[in-house]
Structure 1
Amino acid sequence: MLARLGHIRNWIFDLDNTLYPANINLFTQVDQRITDYIADRFGLDPVAARIKQKEYFHARGTTLAGLIDEHGTDPHEYLDYVHDIEMDVLDHNAPLVAAIARLPGRKLVFTNGDAPYARKVLDRIGLSESFEAIHDIHATNYVPKPEPAVYAGLCAAYDIDPAHSIFFEDMARNLKPAKAIGMTTVWIDNGSEQHADQDRGFIDFTIADITTWLHEIMEDA
C-alpha cells in the first residue's frame, strides 16, 4: 500500500470526526452549542434554530459563514461560544500518535474550526506535537471548506504541492476540491456524513478507521 502512496510528502488531516471517532459524539456538543447560539441570538425555538443552522451549513459550508454574511456575526465571539464544551470524552490515542509519527513528510491539520479549539482536541488525543501547523477558519478569512479558494490558500501558505499531498476528511464533499487540484483523497466513512453524491471519482480511498488504515499502509515501510 505504501508503494502506491510513495509520492506523498504532505499528510493533511481534517480535525473533527477524523482524528477521533465520530461515535464519541464530541462534535455533537459543538453542534448543539451552535443551535443554542442561534436560538439565543434570534429568539428562536430550538426547532427553528436548528433549521436555520442547517440551512446555513448546507448552503455556505459552515453556519458561521452564513451568520457573518447575513448578520455580521463576530466570529471570535461565536467560535468561543460554540467550542466551550467538555473534552472528557476524548482519550489519549497512543496507536494513532505512533502511526502519524511514522508517516514520512510534513503533517498539517486543515479545519473549519479554530486553532485554540483544535489544540485542545489534539492535546487530549496526544497529538499536540505531531503537526507542523493548524490551518484554521481564521486563516481562511472565515471562508470554509469546500470553497476551492481555501485549498489553494492552504497550499500557498505552506508551499504545498497538491500532487504530493493526501487529504483525510469525514465530510466527502470537502474532498472534491482537494481532488480537483491533484490531491490524493481519503474519505473516513464513519457515519458522520452520508455520501449522497453519485460521483465517487474524487474519492481515492474509503476507510472506516484512520488509525487502522495508517498502520496498514506502514506495514511494509
Structure 2
Amino acid sequence: MTAEPVQSTEIGADLRHVRSWVFDLDDTLYPPERQILKRVSERIGHFMVRTTGLPLDEARVLQKRYLMDHGAALGGLMKDYTIDPEEFLADVHDVPLDDLHADEGLRAGLERLQGPRYVFTNGSTRHGERVLEQLGISDLFDGLFAVEHARLVPKPHPDTFALMLGQFGLDPATAAFFEDTARNLEHAKELGMTTILVGPHAFDAEATFVDHRAAALGPFLATAILPGDPT
C-alpha cells in the first residue's frame, strides 16, 4: 500500500477579503532550518549566564520559563534583574545571517499581494532590517513593527497587537497575519484577523483559531486566491 504524500501547503486559500498583510519575521519569512533563531537563543543563554551568575544549564531552564511566562526572555530579565534592554537586543541579535538567501518563489508570492505588507516581530528593529535585507525583500514591505515599538512587551500580549494595528492603521477584519508560533495567532483571531500558521509542523496544529496552514510560505502565496482574482 502506497503511503499518502505529506501535504506541504494549503492550495487555493481564499484571501479575497484581505487588504493588508502582516508577517512574523523569523521562521516565517524563511524556513526554520536556517537556524537563525537557534543562534539568537544561544546568545540569550550566554547573556543570562553573565546577568544571573547561573551556570549555563540552569540559565537555559530559566530562559525557557521566561519565554513561557513573558513571551520572551527580555521580559523576565527586566522583571528580575537590572539590565539595559538596548544592550540586550543588540547583543543577542548579533548573529551571522550567511545562511539566509533570496528566494525567488517567496518574492514572487509577496509581489502578488495587493495592499501594504508589514513585518510584526518580537525581535529588534535592526534584526528585522538585517533579515529583510539579506532575503532581498526589504523593498516589498511598507513597515516594520519590532519589540521596541511594543514598549518591549512581546507578542502575544494584547496591548502589543493594539499598538501594531494602531501604528499601521489596520482594520483586523481585512488583515491577514502569518506566524510560525501558533499561540501568537490566538489573539489575532479574536481581533478578527485571518490567521495563517506557517512552518513544517503547521498541519499538526489542531487549534481552532488557525484559519490556514502552510509548510512553506512561497507556495502558499503562489496559489492563494487574492482580491481581483477570477472566481
Q: Is the shorter-chain TM-score for this pair beyond 0.5, marking a shared fold?
A: yes
Normalised to the residue count of structure 2, the TM-score between the two structures is 0.89
1:46 has 2:59 as partner? no
1:25/1:191 CA distance change after superposition, 3 Å: farther
Distance 1:155 1:88 in 2: 32
**Which is higher, the Rg of structure 1 or of structure 2?**
2
Deviates more, 1:9-18 or 1:37-46: 37-46
Normalised to the residue count of structure 1, the TM-score between the two structures is 0.93
2:27 alignment counterpart: 17
1:205 alignment counterpart: 212
Task: Give 2:171's match in structure 1, choosing from 149, 156, 161.
Answer: 161
1:124/1:214 CA distance change after superposition, 3 Å: same
List per-residue Cα deviations over 1:21-48 (Å, max 9, x = no partner): 0012111100100001101222221100
Runs of at least 4 residues off by over 4 Å: none
Identical columns (%)? 36
Q: Is the 8 A contact 1:137 1:143 kept in 2?
A: yes
Distance 2:190 2:22 in 1: 16
Q: Relative contact order (alpha carbons < 8 A, sep ≥ 6): 1 or 2 greater?
A: 2
1:216 alignment counterpart: 223
2:105 partner letter: P
Task: Give 2:69's match in structure 1, choosing from 52, 59, 71.
Answer: 59
1:100 has 2:107 as partner? no
SS at match of 1:155: helix
Gap runs ≥5 in structure 1: none
2:131 alignment counterpart: 121
List per-residue Cα deviations over 1:94-147 (Å, max 9, x = no partner): 221121112011100000001111111111111111111100100010111010
SS at match of 2:195: strand
2:160 alignment counterpart: 150
Gap runs ≥5 in structure 2: 1-10
Distance 1:2 1:51 in 2: 42
Distance 2:110 2:24 in 1: 14
1:138 alignment counterpart: 148
Q: Is the 8 A contact 2:13 2:212 kept in 1?
A: no
Distance 2:68 2:17 in 1: 34
Deviates more, 1:42-51 or 1:177-186: 42-51
Q: Number of residues paired by the alignment? A: 217
**1:218 shift after superposition:** 5.2
2:167 partner letter: A
Task: Give 1:75's match in structure 2, choosing from 64, 69, 85.
Answer: 85
2:143 partner letter: A
SS at match of 2:139: coil
SS at match of 1:175: helix
1:55/1:204 CA distance change after superposition, 3 Å: same
CA RMSD of the aligned region, Å? 1.9
1:89 has 2:99 as partner? yes
